[in-house]
Amino acid sequence: MRPRVAPSRRARHRLRRSLARWLMLFLVGTTSAGRAQDVPIPPSVLLPNYDRVQPGLIEALEAGAFIARARNAPAVAYNPAGISLSERTSLNASTQGYWLTVLGGSGFEHASPVSNFASMPSFLGIVLGRDLVGWEKVRLGFAVVTPVHWDQSVIATTEPAPGQRASYSVHSSISTTTPTVSVGWALSPSVRLGASIEFPYTSLSDQGQLSGELTTASTSQGSIRNVTLGGSTLDVVGVVGAQWQPLRWLQLGLVFRSPGLKILSTGSLDIESLTTLPSGTRHTYFSDRDARFEYRTPMEVSLGAAFEVGRMQFEVDLRWHDGTHTYPLFSSTEQGRVVDTSSGAPVVSSFDFPGVPYRARPVLNGSVGAHFTLTQAVNLSAGVYLDQSPVDLLGQGFRRVDLIGFRTGVGLQLGPFGASVGIGWEYGKATDDLAPDAAQSQREELTLNTFSVLFSVSYKF
């Protein structure tokens, strides 16, 4: 059983008015003339934020603030220049931990928005040290990183008044898995350079249903919409990085990632809706199992500065992700089918799929990490991060939710074996409903709380 908090009388009255307005727009909107209404897609809960997943032993506990201090296997993900600091071969393998995400918001009186207790993306990285490659200043690194991961389900329903009902269910997921090959070169004791080739593989899926009923003493009308869509794309990205330690207590880092170059992509779309009115019915169907899917990886520039005072280390990182122009996330040359009986006889027509547009806005994310060495074997870590949503076009497939998070924990180093354990919390808020409509009203919101348990292990050969 999941706990539910009953709204106040005033909040319940406001909610009923909002739901009645939403229900009328939902039913009337599906029968309106116009190209957009021919493919009514239920809203997803997809979040494409770039920087909420941080791999590594200590790096995850310090909110990924490791551009200047990156070293060993996690440096393949943060800054390839840092792998040149590895004297011996090191391996980092972890499941990272578990997430519990609670997604809530206005628009529905009864909801079950708690996702399953899910595992965080795993990380596997290895750096080949001098004991294997035999080079004095050059190191090779390999890793499989998952920088983007989101998987969420929502089941919600409401009955604002007798004869009025709205139901909404959705399961949305997006994930980017990135195999990476890196090389690091220690140009001098204080200057290090690195480069990587990344192959980000992004997969996206969404299954949703939105239905409504409006019944009076003399009439009854209802509507149901279904969507099943999926897409995947493989890109290639070039990365260059640098680290410089001008002073004993100061380290600086720089990373540049090129825009992604698409290698291949696949997509599929199935959309169906049925509306029943006193005058007749309207059935819309569209399907393309070979739809075009495109998801672009924008350019990224990251800077980091780390300071060391006694046993304490601090790092501040900034990550700038470029935006994109408007492009079709999903597109198709197939035609849909509409059957309308409102004239008294079935009228069959076809329509062109208008596409699902997407545009990413430029975002500046940041993280701050702190590290305190208690003993040679035990250390404490903490970090905060800001992960702004890149979504620029609202209501077109993705949700815009800006996230802020906090993590803390303890790390252990016993000879060649290392481990860490910690906890985290993440919060985000958007200005739309769980199931947003075309008309904005006051007090619409979508909230997200994620609680995490983190752990990781590593071994140096």
What is the C-alpha separation between 31 and 14, in angstroms, rounded? 27
Q: Count CB atoms within 10 A of the CB of residue 21.
A: 14
Q: How far is it, in rounded angstroms, from Cα 381 to Cα 457?
A: 15
Cα distances from 201 to residues 11, 143, 424, in angstroms, run 44, 14, 27
The residue among 72, 98, 48 whose CA lies nearest residue 421 is 98
> Could you read off the pLDDT tens digit of each residue along the chain, which spans 461 residues?
333 333 344 444 444 444 455 555 555 454 444 344 456 677 788 899 999 999 887 999 999 999 999 998 999 999 999 999 998 888 887 777 888 887 766 655 545 545 567 788 888 899 999 888 889 899 999 999 999 999 888 887 777 788 888 888 889 999 999 999 999 999 999 999 999 999 999 999 999 998 888 888 888 889 899 999 999 999 999 999 999 999 999 999 999 999 999 999 999 999 999 999 888 999 999 999 999 999 999 999 999 999 999 999 999 999 999 999 999 999 999 999 999 998 889 999 999 998 899 999 999 999 999 999 999 999 999 999 999 999 997 666 788 999 999 999 999 988 888 889 999 999 998 877 665 554 444 456 778 899 999 888 877 66
**Angle in degrees, CA 88, 91, 95, rounded to 5:** 160
- Cβ atoms 339, 347 nearer than 8 A: yes
How far is Cα 122 from Cα 276, in angstroms, rounded to an integer?
47
Please give the Cα distance from 254 to 251 (Å, whole number).
11
- Asked if residues 295 and 316 have their Cβ atoms less than 8 Å apart, the reply is no
pTM > 0.85: yes or no: yes
130 within 8 A of 88, measured Cβ to Cβ = yes
Q: What is the DSSP letter of 81?
A: G
CA gap 240, 222 in Å, rounded = 56
Between CA 50 and CA 403 the distance in angstroms is 11
- At 366-404, the pLDDT tens digits run 999 999 999 999 999 999 999 999 999 766 678 899 999
Structure tokens belonging to residue 289: 């199992």
* C-beta separation of 310 from 373 below 8 A: no
Angstrom distance (rounded) from CA 281 to CA 279: 7
| Structural domain spans, the chain | 13-460
Return the bridge partners of 317, or none.
304, 367
Q: How many CB atoms lie within 10 A of CB 348?
A: 9
Q: How far is CA 449 from CA 115, 394, 427, 443, 452, in A?
A: 11, 21, 5, 19, 10
**Is residue 444 within 8 Å of residue 436, measured between CB atoms?**
yes
CATH topology assigned to domain 13-460: Porin (2.40.160)
pLDDT in tens, 1-52: 333 333 344 444 444 444 455 555 555 454 444 344 456 677 788 899 999 9
Cα–Cα distance list, 38 to 10, 275, 340, 342, 352 (Å): 37, 12, 12, 16, 9
Give me the phi and psi of 429, to 5 degrees please.
-145, 140
